[in-house]
Amino acid sequence: MALHIGDVAPDFTQESTIGPLNFHEWIGDSWVVLYSHPADYTPVCTTELGLTAKLADEFKKRNVKVAALSVDDTESHKGWINDINETQGCQVNFPIIADADRKVSELYDMIHPGASETVTVRSVYFIDPNKKIRAVITYPPSTGRNFDEILRVIDSLQLTDDYSVATPVNWKDGDECVIIPSLKDPEVLKEKFPKGYKEIKPYLRMTPQPNK
């Protein structure tokens, strides 16, 4: 099943390190980052999960819940968490889904046979409070994720939901934004962007980040 941006994230109930997890119910009114791991006790994943735990406050202030997934069972996950806490100097404080039957992996197209028939690639799904998929990033099993980029994507999605802007190349929170091209009325522009803007081309107008 191929999932696309704008699709409703498939619901599921699966075992996890916090007990049975009904995905849509667990999401509630939060944003969610759902991301997959090739297997337990793998080195790259150990570093990723450790950093996720350390970034708990960053996710919380963005109203984001995080759920990880691996194709091993809950008991294996719990043993692995002990290793993660020990080696990464953290306390894993988010659920790891036990996808031993690969139900969720198949539902979210996380197994790419060209990479491996048995383990998931490193997929990241960004899901909003309406349960819609807003962005997807996929890495091969050998490449660790960039969590600065994960936070940057969340910041961009939340900003552009609330204001008539898009975020340009290499944007990060606090940088100038692009005014969307469909907004042309001078009075509306003045009202929406009281800090002003500079017009480089009629379609390329830069403005200070509206919520800063």
**What is the spatial distance between Cα 179 and Cα 123, in angstroms, rounded to a whole number?**
30
User: Of the residues 33, 34, 45, 124, which is catalytic?
Assistant: 45
**CB-based burial of residue 28 (10 Å sphere; 0-12 exposed, 13-18 middle, 19+ buried)?**
exposed
Residue 199's H or E segment, with its range, is strand 198-201
Query: Please, which residues bridge with residue 35 across strands?
Result: 68, 124
Q: Is 128 helix (H, G, I), strand (E, B) or coil?
A: coil
Burial profile 59-97: b = 16 or more Cβ within 10 angstroms, e = fewer: beeeebbbbbbbbbebebbeebbeebbeebebebebbbb
Q: Is 66 helix (H, G, I), strand (E, B) or coil?
A: strand
- For residue 180, CA distances in Å to 12, 102, 174 come to 36, 41, 18
Which residue type sits at 167?
A: T
**What is the spatial distance between Cα 113 and Cα 160, in angstroms, rounded to a whole number?**
35
45 is annotated as an active-site residue: yes
Give me the helix-helix angle, 74-88 and 43-54, nearest 10°: 70
Tokens coding 159: 């900003």
Give catalytic residues, as residue numbers. 45
